[in-house]
Structure 1
Amino acid sequence: MSVQPDKLRAETALMFPPGFVWGAATAAFQVEGATTADGRTDSVWDVFARKPGAVVGGDTGDPAADHYRRYGEDVDLMRRLGLGAYRFSLAWPRIRPDAGLPNPAGLAFYDRLVDRLLDAGIAPWATLYHWDLPQALEEKGGWAARDTAFRFAEYAETVLERLGDRVASWSTLNEPWCAAMLGYAGGIHAPGRRDPAAAVAAAHHLLLGHGLAMDVIRRHAGDTPAGITLNLYPVAPHDPASAADVDAARRVDGQQNRLFLDPVLRGGYPEDLVADLAPFGLTDVVREGDTTTIAAPIDWLGVNYYRDYTVAGTPVLGSKPASPEWVGAADVHFVPNEAAPLTASGWEVQPAGLTASLLQVHRDYRPVPLYITENGAAYPDDVTENGDIVDTDRIAFLDSHLQAAHEAIEAGVDLRGYFYWSLLDNFEWAEGYAKRFGLIHVDYATQRRTPKRSAFWYSRVAGLNGLS
């Protein structure tokens, strides 16, 4: 009996588990545009982007990828590529403008988006918060104010009442480290503050908001899977024999990873980190019952991975001192790997770090299903005369990181899905439109969409459920 080519290819491929989810991700402020349409009011990112020098090129959240008006075209592209899921975020200032009463027009947009996804056979994965805090709440203290966590729960209630019956999976927060540390300590993300005590308070209140929102999800969406998405980075000492380097790695791992993993999966902050952050008020903002609320059971954990860190406790050749977002770590130095290739963002390509991050969670915490909810790279797009977009660097990036994900599965990690970042070229925060992460090229002048070669490569992987 002859063997069919497709069967032979599958038998020689690195196959992923049955039911593995293949998707792509976006965030509301990065793709929607239409920042003043249908009652939407300012988020902290609208205000921050208008500050001179805050964003490369003076770019703002309009037009972004005009997803608010072109979502139907985008869903059709996802369907043609064979994606099984779309991870998107909802815009708080579109749904509850100025954190006030629910806005019917804003809710109607997400009704249309979710229904269009379901009609296309694509599972909607909704994230409640991807950094677009209503500016009205920032003016009352933002995430540094405890009340914001309760306003977040009110917003979650509005969303779940409307969409709780149709969304396939919920995420409360995306990368609370960035929202807290880059926004309130580093000053390079919205709202642009440089107050380490405010950043530490923001981190705790974001987690409190997560726990409160989990309760809302359980009440309105029953058994629908729900979790939280964290950006995790494996951290290694430059010299494992150096006590100073080992301690530097401990502190960076504490602030980047364990500050969020431990409260969610272990029910409290790690003792060493409590001591590190006590001078910045961590013990002052944690109230009785908070850790129980934050530790509400989750159904899955999202892992966003882009690179790893090597750190030293004293300067070494080529190292850079920690910037302000690393609270109380001014003596820590980040050491580059000169042999690693770089993306257009200047980030080292380190696929082995993805395996290490997944294994860290698998090894150190209670069993929980994992999803890679973001992983991707910015590269310059080479557009040929016939309009073909050749992005071989991105294909190589994808291939190496999916191999790394497969290695984690072989090592026992319960990994159930992968979402490429990003579906579309978009507004890349402080980099504006200067960096392109998308599988789909967006011409911002015309809003024309063109799938890149990486999109077709990824489509084949999803169809095969493996790497050939």
Structure 2
Amino acid sequence: MYKRSDFPAGFQFGASTAAYQIEGHSFGGAGRTHWDDFAATSGNVVRAENGAVACDHYHRWEADLDLIRDAGFDAYRFSTSWARVLPEGRGAVNAEGLDFYDRLVDGMLERGIKPMITLYHWELPSALADLGGWANNDVAKWFADYAEIIMGRVGDRIWKTATINELYCVSVLGYLTGHHAPGTRNVRAAVRAMHNVSLAHGTAVEALRAAGYGDLGAVCNFTHHRPVDDSPETAAAMQRADDLDNRFFLSGFFKGAYPEGLVELVGQHLPEGWQDDMKTVSTPVDWLGVNYYFSTIVAADDGPWPAVRQVEGPLPKTQMGWEIYPDGLRHFLRMCADEYSGETPLYITENGMANADLVDGGAVADQVRIDYLDQHFAKARQAIDEGVPLEGYFVWSLMDNYEWALGYEKRFGIVHVDFDSQERTPKASYHALKAALAS
């Protein structure tokens, strides 16, 4: 396996998690979220499972931070829950919530772990969902206010701050496909949400920078596409897929404009006066996070925008059914640096795989995950050699957790979690990473 010594001096290695997926949202005075509502709706989530208990990280955070320290990770990318801090999304602050994150950040520093905070990882307070959520243009101000509150408490000790995790998933999966909360399937709401989540990012960056905070970044997810054939129809579908999946948010952040082809197709759904927001959307960031997992084969579809369908491909697949294509990581690191972010430092903020891991004799053999990570380390190293300003890599995820609409079935962790007993068992991948980071 690639080792720490194979990367430049100062390269940062870390692990990532998300609040709703691990904390246990029924604890500590947290407010209701649209994920609670989504999961309580028949047919949305496997076995209608939710994040009420999750990994009980709310009570077990000290031992979990010990796992991060003992693995030799430099940093921990965690998220804060909007509804834990502001149960109604606005107004009264939940002191227990702020106290929890205060303890958590101090616990990282006590263990020599750099805190990398993500302010939003998908758990919108239900009270704001009632008002239209991300489809309501006012959400940008609501989010910036929340960002200032949480950073006002812990921001003096944070290493790096990300605004919103995977804006594509927040807007497209939440409002177009309906696969994620709030489960809306409405193109007008989706396109507005795409813009509003971009505006919320920029508004928060402006507010936090004005308050004196630095090292502010964005985190985008990317999906690699391969054409099903060489027809003009497929080429056009590839462009539509790329504009939606990979370029919309980058273009807004770094060029102050959305892809022309996408605007021509669905720009009528954007909020009135959206062009006036683009200066805020493109507020400069200090770093960019790249989340990458898989590749897919693209074909044209006869339906409405984006008129794209995915075709099952021949490559090895993860437990999610996602095709493993390591060179896609290098592709997007190059794309970001060459076409958008330039010399802005890049971090791989999520990369990993789900596998049907089982505890056997007190151990978990997940060689397939070790191979996956090693193949992606190789592509990260190659990108650095090609001049990409890549400065860190964060594995997804520290531990098995609540995998959103798929409940607790899909295991992404390098630490196994028994969701009945909450027992943690470091997997072979954890031990392999520990050895690689020690060398």
Name the TM tier (shorter chain).
Answer: over 0.9
Report the Cα distance in structure 2 between the residues aligned to 1:414 and 1:19, rounded to whole angstroms: 12
Tell me if the contact between 2:76 and 2:113 (Cα under 8 Å) persists in the aligned partners.
yes
Aligned partner of residue 342 in structure 1, secondary structure: coil
Tell me if the contact between 1:82 and 1:463 (Cα under 8 Å) persists in the aligned partners.
yes
Question: 1:177-188 counterparts in 2 under 5 A?
Answer: 177-188=168-179
Is 1:16 aligned with 2:7?
A: yes
Match of 1:290 in 2: 277
Is 1:427 aligned with 2:427?
A: no
Report the Cα distance in structure 2 between the residues aligned to 1:231 and 1:49, rounded to whole angstroms: 23
Aligned partner of residue 235 in structure 1, secondary structure: strand
Closer, same or farther: CA 346–459 of 1 in aligned 2, 3 Å: same
The one-letter amino acid of 1:328's match is W
Match of 1:317 in 2: none
Write out per-residue CA displacement over residues 400-439 of structure 1, whole angstroms, 9 at most, x where no aligned residue: 1111111111111111101000001100001100011101
Is 1:369 aligned with 2:349?
A: no
Question: When the two structures are aligned, how many residues end up with a matched partner?
Answer: 437
Closer, same or farther: CA 311–297 of 1 in aligned 2, 3 Å: same
1:37 Cα shift?
A: 2.6
1:45 Cα shift?
A: 0.6
Query: What TM-score does the superposition give when structure 2 sets the normalisation length?
Result: 0.96
Aligned partner of residue 255 in structure 1, secondary structure: helix
Report the Cα distance in structure 2 between the residues aligned to 1:285 and 1:31, rounded to whole angstroms: 38
Percentage of identical aligned residues: 45
1:61 Cα shift?
A: 0.6
Residue of structure 1 aligned with 2:167, choices 144, 151, 176 = 176
Match of 1:329 in 2: 306
Is 1:244 aligned with 2:221?
A: no
The one-letter amino acid of 2:305's match is G
1:14 Cα shift?
A: 7.1
RMSD: 1.7
Aligned partner of residue 190 in structure 1, secondary structure: coil
Write out per-residue CA displacement over residues 177-197 of structure 1, whole angstroms, 9 at most, x where no aligned residue: 011111111111100111111
The one-letter amino acid of 2:347's match is Y
**Unpaired segments ≥5 residues, structure 1:** 1-8, 315-320
Report the Cα distance in structure 2 between the residues aligned to 1:27 and 1:13, rounded to whole angstroms: 25
Tell me if the contact between 1:204 and 1:285 (Cα under 8 Å) persists in the aligned partners.
no
Report the Cα distance in structure 2 between the residues aligned to 1:63 and 1:216, rounded to whole angstroms: 33
Tell me if the contact between 1:95 and 1:107 (Cα under 8 Å) persists in the aligned partners.
yes
The one-letter amino acid of 2:358's match is D
Match of 1:300 in 2: 287
Aligned partner of residue 274 in structure 2, secondary structure: coil
Match of 1:4 in 2: none
Match of 1:318 in 2: none
Residue of structure 2 aligned with 1:455, choices 425, 430, 435 = 430
Report the Cα distance in structure 2 between the residues aligned to 1:297 and 1:211, rounded to whole angstroms: 8
Is 1:231 aligned with 2:235?
A: no
Closer, same or farther: CA 366–31 of 1 in aligned 2, 3 Å: closer
The one-letter amino acid of 1:333's match is R
Aligned partner of residue 278 in structure 1, secondary structure: helix
Question: 1:81-120 counterparts in 2 under 5 A?
Answer: 81-99=71-89, 100-120=91-111
1:382 Cα shift?
A: 3.4
Residue of structure 1 aligned with 2:319, choices 301, 323, 344 = 344
Closer, same or farther: CA 221–166 of 1 in aligned 2, 3 Å: farther
Residue of structure 1 aligned with 2:411, choices 430, 433, 436 = 436
Is 1:267 aligned with 2:267?
A: no
Question: 1:204-219 counterparts in 2 under 5 A?
Answer: 204-219=195-210
Aligned partner of residue 318 in structure 2, secondary structure: coil
Query: What TM-score does the superposition give when structure 1 sets the normalisation length?
Result: 0.90
**Unpaired segments ≥5 residues, structure 2:** none
Residue of structure 2 aligned with 1:126, choices 117, 125, 131 = 117
